[in-house]
Amino acid sequence: MSSPAPSAIDSLVFRKTNTKIGRHLSVTPSNSSMRHLAYGRILLNASHPSESFSTGDRETGLVCLSGHTTVTVDGQASELDRYDAIYIPRDSSVRVTATSDVDLAEFSADVAHRYPLQIVRSAEVAKDPSLKFSTGGPTSTRHLHMLFVKNVQAGRLLLGITSGENGHWTSWPPHEHAVMLEELYVYINMPEPAYGIQLVYNNTEYPEFLTVVREGDAVLIPGGYHPNVAVPGHPICYLWAMAAHREGADRQFGVFNVQPGFQPPAPGSRPPK
């Protein structure tokens, strides 16, 4: 008997991506619906203190989720602490080292051009109200921490962190931006028993995707509206990464279409991440 065809849920969610020591890519254009985005984790500890790789034709962003690490790019070393990030150009040689437990999220996208090496310090982001802010309404309050937006020169990648309040919706109102950007969510800071519900759909009567998400899960959003909600008593938190379809031209944060029937944000309001 032949195996059943993968369901829409199976093709859009990658579970427990944060469990393997070393460097492991979970999502790539070759194993998913992503045209440009790739995502993986680099987990280091005392018994496995380093990883080395080359970026090839892909611009790469590393986000330190916990611990302290040194990232050396073409011989230039930079120290990263929690929520610091580094933009690494294509055609670079990279070595990541640590003396204790470290968790790094890795995102990349193919680019034709080479952009400069850049460091994003969490402490500096916190000082800029256009990069770190809260938004939403009474049941959709969330806190955004931008990593790669207008502050970073890049070809395709946009990165950030969204933290929702207990039981609140995020990525609200429902919106989509598939013509310009594909997206991926990676759930973090949601220890057991916390979980959320993630939707990806074009029509609420027949949603293509609806599943429970927990810490370490990655959800792909090649298109469609994509709101999510935390269970009462627990927060929802995720890294979001977007890749522009047209390098440079489509790399725009805050350009989206709100689902018909929902009020669009008022002029000057924050984008619905």
Residue-wise pLDDT for 202-241, tens only, equals: 988 888 899 999 999 999 999 999 999 999 999 999 999 9
Residue 246: pLDDT over 70 = yes
Instruction: Please write the tens of the pLDDT for every residue from 10-33.
Output: 689 999 999 999 999 999 999 999
Q: pLDDT category, 5, cuts 50, 70, 90?
A: very low
- Residue 54: CB atoms within 10 A of its CB come to 11
The answer to whether 215 and 235 have CB atoms below 8 angstroms apart is no
Q: What is the pLDDT of residue 273?
A: 76
Q: How far is CA 125 from CA 67, 148, 230, 251, 267, in A?
A: 19, 10, 25, 20, 24
Q: What is the DSSP letter of 12?
A: H
Residue 122: pLDDT over 80 = yes
Single-letter code of the amino acid located at 50: S
Q: How far apart are CA 140 and CA 157, in angstroms?
A: 26
Residue 190: pLDDT over 90 = yes
Q: pLDDT category, 153, cuts 50, 70, 90?
A: very high
| Backbone phi and psi for residue 93, each to the nearest 5 degrees, phi listed first | -100, 130
Q: What is the pLDDT of residue 205?
A: 87
Residue 264: pLDDT over 90 = no
The answer to whether 10 and 31 have CB atoms below 8 angstroms apart is no
Q: What is the pLDDT of residue 272?
A: 73
Domain spans of the chain, in order of start: 8-256
CA-CA-CA-CA torsion sign (172, 175, 152, 116): positive
Q: What is the pLDDT of residue 11?
A: 87
Residue 265: pLDDT over 90 = no
Q: How far is CA 10 from CA 119, 149, 169, 209, 258, in A?
A: 35, 30, 23, 9, 26
The answer to whether 158 and 148 have CB atoms below 8 angstroms apart is yes
Q: How far is CA 227 from CA 65, 164, 199, 202, in A?
A: 23, 12, 6, 12
Tell me which residue of 271, 270, 233, 243 sits closest to 59, measured CA to CA. Answer: 243
Instruction: Please state which CATH class domain 8-256 belongs to.
Output: mainly beta
- Average pLDDT over the chain, rounded to an integer: 93
Q: Is 106 helix (H, G, I), strand (E, B) or coil?
A: strand
Q: What is the pLDDT of residue 235?
A: 93
Q: What is the pLDDT of residue 271?
A: 67
Residue 269: pLDDT over 70 = no
Q: What is the pLDDT of residue 35?
A: 97
Q: What is the pLDDT of residue 2?
A: 38
Cβ neighbours of residue 76 closer than 8 Å, sequence gap 6 or more: 117
Q: How far apart are CA 266 and CA 269, in angstroms?
A: 6
Q: pLDDT category, 109, cuts 50, 70, 90?
A: very high
